[in-house]
Structure 1
Amino acid sequence: MKILILSACLIMMAASTAQAAARTPGAGLDKADANHDGYVTRDEFKALRAAQFARLDRNDDGVVSLSEFPRLAKSTRSKAQALKAVITHADRDGDGRVARAEFVDGPAPLFDRADRDHDGRLSREEVAALRDQLESLK
Structure 2
Amino acid sequence: MHRLPAARFLGLGVILCAVALPAAASPPLNALIARADRDSDGWISYPEFRDARLAAFDRADANHDQILTRAEARAMRADLGLPNRMPGPKTLSAMRAIDANGDNKLSRAEFTVAGRARFAQLDNDHDGRLSRADAYAAMSG
**Is the TM value for this pair above 0.5?**
yes
1-side partners of 2:72 and 2:138: how far apart? 31
Could you tell me how far 1:87 is from its partner in structure 2?
A: 3.9
Could you tell me how far 1:101 is from its partner in structure 2?
A: 1.0
Counterpart residue number, 1:74 = none
The reply to whether residue 91 of structure 1 matches residue 95 of structure 2 is no
Q: Deviations over 1:31-82 (max 9, x none)?
A: 3111112221111111011011112212111101125479xxxxxx972215
Could you tell me how far 1:127 is from its partner in structure 2?
A: 2.7
Name whichever of 2-11 and 41-50 sits farther off: 2-11
The letter of the residue matching 1:10 is: L
- Consecutive unaligned residues of structure 1, counting only runs of 5 or more, are 71-76
2-side partners of 1:88 and 1:23: how far apart? 28
- CA gap 1:31/1:95 in 2 versus in 1, 3 angstroms: same
2-side partners of 1:131 and 1:24: how far apart? 16
The reply to whether residue 101 of structure 1 matches residue 102 of structure 2 is no
Identity of aligned residues (%): 30
The reply to whether residue 81 of structure 1 matches residue 95 of structure 2 is no
The aligned runs of 1:54-73 (5 Å cut-off) are 54-66=58-70, 68=72
Counterpart residue number, 1:73 = none
The reply to whether residue 32 of structure 1 matches residue 45 of structure 2 is no
The aligned runs of 1:15-54 (5 Å cut-off) are 23=26, 27=30, 28-54=32-58
Q: Deviations over 1:78-137 (max 9, x none)?
A: 722157456423211111211111102335444223322211111xxx335524752x58
Counterpart residue number, 1:8 = 8
- Consecutive unaligned residues of structure 2, counting only runs of 5 or more, are 16-22, 75-82
Compute the TM-score of the two structures, normalised by the length of structure 1: 0.64
State the number of aligned residues.
123
The letter of the residue matching 2:86 is: A
Contact 1:64–1:97 (CA<8 Å) still a contact in 2?
yes
Contact 2:122–2:138 (CA<8 Å) still a contact in 1?
no
